[in-house]
Amino acid sequence: MSRLALRTAAATATLGLLVACHPGEPPGGAAASFQTPSAEDVVPGAIVVDFRDGTTRADFDAWEKQWNIDLEFNSIEGEQSGITVAVNVQDVDKVLAEIRKNPAVESAEPELRFRIPPNEAGLELTEARGPGTAGFPNDPLYPKQWNLKAIDAEKAWKRSTGKGVIVAVLDTGIAYETRGDFVQVPDLKGASFVEGYDFVNDTNEPHDDHGHGTHVAGTIAQVTHNSEGVAGVAYEATLMPVKVLDAFGYGTSADIADAIRWAADHGADVINLSLGGGGYSQAMASAIDYARKQGATVVCAAGNGGTGRVEFPAAYPGAVAVSAIGPDGKLAFYSSWGKELDIAAPGGNKQLGDEGGILQNTISARDLRTPVYAFYQGTSMATPHVSGVAALLYAAGAKGPDQVEKALFEGARKVDGQQGWNEKYGHGVVNAEGALEALGTGWLGVNWKPLLTALVLLVGVLLTLGRKQRPGYLNILFTPTFLIPLVLGTVGFFVVRLFTHGASSTNGLVQAAALPIPDWKDVLFGRGRLANPLFYSALIPLVLSMLAVAIKRLRPVIGGLALGFAGFLAYAAWSKAPAIAWLPFDFLAVPWLVVNAAICLFITRAMLRKEVAA
C-alpha cells in the first residue's frame, strides 16, 4: 500500500474519534525531548524527518539502512525543504532517538494529523442572481454579510482592494475551475488565480472535494460588484489554491509544512491556514519561520475548542492567531483563546440564528457538483478576514509581515473598553479601515504619525523655556546630531525599506535599522504579543542622559532620542495599540505610556535648555 493510501486509511479509521482534541505543547527548548500528542492525532507508524537544506537523497539513502526504515521526500517541495517521511515504522520512539543523533537532522518526530475544526458547515441557500442591490457593491446577498460591515470593509475599499497580492489558501482546495467531477462556483468566475498544488494527491490540480477551502477563499477574494452572490474582503487579490486536507478534512504535518514553504517559494504574500489540532510539529514551526523570512504573513485559526488554549499551527511563533466573534461583537462560544492569540475577526455564531454565520459561495456538502451559498461558523471563517485585510495592506504598500502585523494590531477595534492586548480578542477585532490608517499609506508607506507627534511635543517643550534658554527652532531641526536620533526613535531608518522586501527577510542589523528604536525588542527578544516595558518606557533615554552630565556634546543626541521616544510612546498611548508585559492589569498600559512619554519630554527639555550666565 502506498504512503498516501496508508495515511488516508488511518485518517478514515479515526474519523469518529476526532472531535475537539487538545494539541500537545512545544518542547521547552532546543534540547528538550518531544512531547507526544494525543494518540488520535498521530499517524500510526509514520515519522517525519526534516533534514538540513542541501541534504540529498543519496545522503539519507545511506543513513536509512542504519535506521532500518525507508525514507522518501514527502512531496515535490522535498528537495528544497528537506522534509522526508517514512511509514510502517515498527518502533517509532527507538528509531526517532537514533535519527536525532545525526547532525544533518533538524527535527525528527511522529507524523501528526491536522483537520478542519468540527461543526462549521451550516444553512445552504440556492444560487443568487439578479439586478443586485443599489450602490456598491451590487451583490444581491451582500446585505446578509454582517461580517464585512463589522470590519469596515466598504471604507477600506476606497483605499485598497488587494490588487496584485497573492494569498495562498492551504485547505481542502478551491472550486476554481470546471473539469471532470469538479465545478467552478459561479461567484469565483472572473477571480484571479495563480497555479497551485495538491499535496494530498501529489498533483497540480488542487480541486476542492469538500467545500471548506472554497468557502474560506470566498471570504478572502470573492468576486465583488458582479450582481452575483456575495462580496470578498480583498476582492482583487489573487488566490493560490493549495490542497493540504483531504475529502474528509484531514491532513498531515508533513504535507502542511511542505505546502507552507512551497507557497512562500512561489510568491505568496499571505498564507491562510484555517485548520488546527495535531499538536506541536517542529517541521511546521520551521516552515512558518521560513515563510516569514521570505516575506509572507501566515494567518491561522485559533481553534474551535472553546477553551483558553490556542491550537497549532496558530500557537507557533510567527503565526497570526485569530479568534472568532459573532454578529453581536462578542467572542463566539466555540472560539479558542489564550496567551498566543493576536487578533479577533468575524467567525459567526449560529446560536443567534442560522444567518449568524459567515455567508460565502461554495459547493454543497451533499453534492460536490452543486454550488451553493452557505452560512459557516468557526475560527476557520474568522481567519480569512484577517488574511484579506493583510492583502489590502500589502497592496497599499506594506513591505513585510512585521509591518503588516503592526498595522493589523494598531488598527484593530478595541472591545468593551479593552486596553491593549488580552487573551480573548488579542489586540482587538480586525478593522480594515483602521489597519490601512495605521499603516500610514503616505510617502514611502511609512506611518509618520509618531514623528509628527514628536514635532508637536517639541513645540510645547520649547514654549516652556524662557527666551534666553530656548535654542532656535531651525537650529534644532537641521542639526543631524538631534534630527537623526529623533527619526530613529519614531519611524526608524525608513530608507532601508526601499531596498528590502521586508525587514523579516534581512539580517538582524538591517531589520533593527528599519524599525523605531522602541521596537528593537522584536529583534533582540523575538516577536511577542506584549510590548517589552524596558523599551516602551523612558529607561533608555534616562540612562543615556546621565552621560550628558560629563559629556555635554552628547546633549543634542540624547535630546533628539528622548523626544523620539516621547513621540513614539505618546502616539502608542493615543492609538491604544500595545499591552505592556509584566503589568498586573491591562488598563495600566496607557497610563504607563503617558507617564514615560512625560519623563522623556522632561529629559528633552533638560538637554535642549541653554545655560544662561548669572
Catalytic residues: 171, 212, 380
Q: Which residues contact 610 (CB under 8 A, 6 or more apart)?
A: 468, 469, 470, 471
Q: Residue 285: which residues within 8 A CB-CB, separation 6 or more? A: 26, 316, 317
- How crowded is residue 88: how many other Cβ atoms within 10 Å of its Cβ? 12
Distances in Å between the Cα of 460 and the Cα atoms of 37, 453, 485, 526 are 58, 11, 19, 35
Q: Where does 351-378 have alpha helices with state H?
A: none
For residue 311, give the nearest of 380, 248, 241, 374 by alpha carbon: 380
Count CB neighbours of 367 within 10 A: 9
Q: Tell me how far apart the terminal alpha carbons of the chain are, to the nearest angstrom.
A: 95
Beta bridge partners of residue 115, listed in sequence order: 250, 276
Cell of 536: 516602551
Helices 480-490 and 449-463: angle between axes, nearest 10 degrees: 130
Write the CA distances from 381 to 138, 282, 427, 544, 574, integer angstroms. 23, 26, 18, 49, 31
Buried b (16+ CB within 10 A) or exposed e, 318-327: bbbbbbbbbb
HSE (side-chain half, CA atoms, 13 Å) at 6: 15
Pairwise CA distance, residues 495 & 515, whole Å: 11
HEC sequence for 521-587: HHHHHCCCCCECCCCCCCHHHHHHHCHHHHCHHHHHHHHHHHHHHHHHHHHHHHHCCCCECCCCCHH
b/e per residue 559-581 (b: at least 16 CB within 10 A) = bbbbbbbbbbbbbbbebbbbbbb
Rounded Cα gap, residues 452 and 501, in angstroms: 26
Using the 8-state DSSP alphabet, how is residue 494 labeled? Answer: G
Residue 13 and residue 535: Cα distance in Å, rounded? 52
- In order, the DSSP letters of 456-484 are HHHHHHHHTS-TTTPPPHHHHHT-HHHHH
User: Is the distance from CB of 487 to CB of 450 less than 8 angstroms?
Assistant: no
Q: What is the DSSP string of 397-439?
A: T--SHHHHHHHHHHHSBP-TT--S-BTTTBT-B--HHHHHHHH
Cα–Cα–Cα angle for 349, 355, 357, nearest 5°? 40
CB distance 110 to 48 below 8 Å: yes
